[in-house]
Amino acid sequence: MDAPEGEDFNMDDVVCMVNTLQPGNNLAAAGYVLYSSSTFLTLTIGNGVYGFTLDEQIGEFVLSHPCIALPESKNIMSFNEANWDMWDEPMQEVHEAWRTGKSTLGTRYTSRYVGSMVADVHRTLLYGGVFGYPADTKNKNGKLRLLYEAAPMSFLIEQAGGLSTTGRERVMDLRPENVHQRVPIVMGSRTEVQEVIDAYEKFDQSSS
């Protein structure tokens, strides 16, 4: 590798980037801590998802949610719907079907959106449904960072039995090109996420 003109070549930086810029498939563990009515620690090491709640009396996390499993489908959607008019056609169509009760589940979906990825994914893990931050005309590559937001949360979602996609690609398969790379994302219960995948596939086929 040649050093960029005018810059010093630092092999340690190169090694660091090679080790860092890996796809989510190479993750060994992922988790988050949520500070709410209680303090929650949710964790996977690649063999299911486990939730712990801080017991303040003993000062330790206690296993409170063993083997978290997403339901196959749930009529809860979590999106910033103020951006609806800026989404692309497939995402608009699926969201409209959820909103009007014309999707696979055949019932209207309720909207639950905190605006914090951790809080919204936490609720999705516990109750099911779908969370997303799609690409839009303002954020054409999405808004959430692949390396330290999208991939770790996708690991948790998949370990709980769900799916996670950009619409066209499985998030865990993506190899980051830079540390702060952004990607669109839709994750949650399998039925809802598969509807999004199918909508993009149908759109791409009709456009080709």
Does residue 22 sit in helix, strand or coil?
Answer: coil
Give the mean model confidence (pLDDT) for residues 104-127: 96
Using the predicted structure, report yes or no on whether residue 71 has a pLDDT greater than 80. yes
Question: What is the spatial order of strands in the sheet that 110-111 belongs to?
Answer: 110-111, 76-78, 130-133, 185-188, 163-165
Distance CA(173)–CA(150), nearest Å, equals: 11
* Domain boundaries, given as residue ranges, for the chain: 11-65, 76-207
Work out the pLDDT band at 8, boundaries 50, 70, 90. low
What is the rounded (10 degree) CA torsion for 70, 116, 47, 15?
Answer: 150
Using the predicted structure, report yes or no on whether residue 14 has a pLDDT greater than 90. no
Residue 170 DSSP class: B
Using the predicted structure, report yes or no on whether residue 10 has a pLDDT greater than 90. no
Does residue 190 sit in helix, strand or coil?
Answer: helix
CATH 3.40.50.2300 fits 76-207, yes or no: no
- Identify the pLDDT of residue 16: 81
35 — phi, psi (to 5°)? Answer: -100, 110
Using the predicted structure, report yes or no on whether residue 5 has a pLDDT greater than 80. no
- Identify the pLDDT of residue 144: 98
Using the predicted structure, report yes or no on whether residue 4 has a pLDDT greater than 70. no
Q: Which residue has the higher pLDDT, 48 or 14?
A: 48
Average pLDDT, the chain: 94
CA distances from 65 to 33, 52, 70, 125, 149 (A): 14, 6, 12, 11, 22
Using the predicted structure, report yes or no on whether residue 68 has a pLDDT greater than 60. yes
Using the predicted structure, report yes or no on whether residue 1 has a pLDDT greater than 80. no
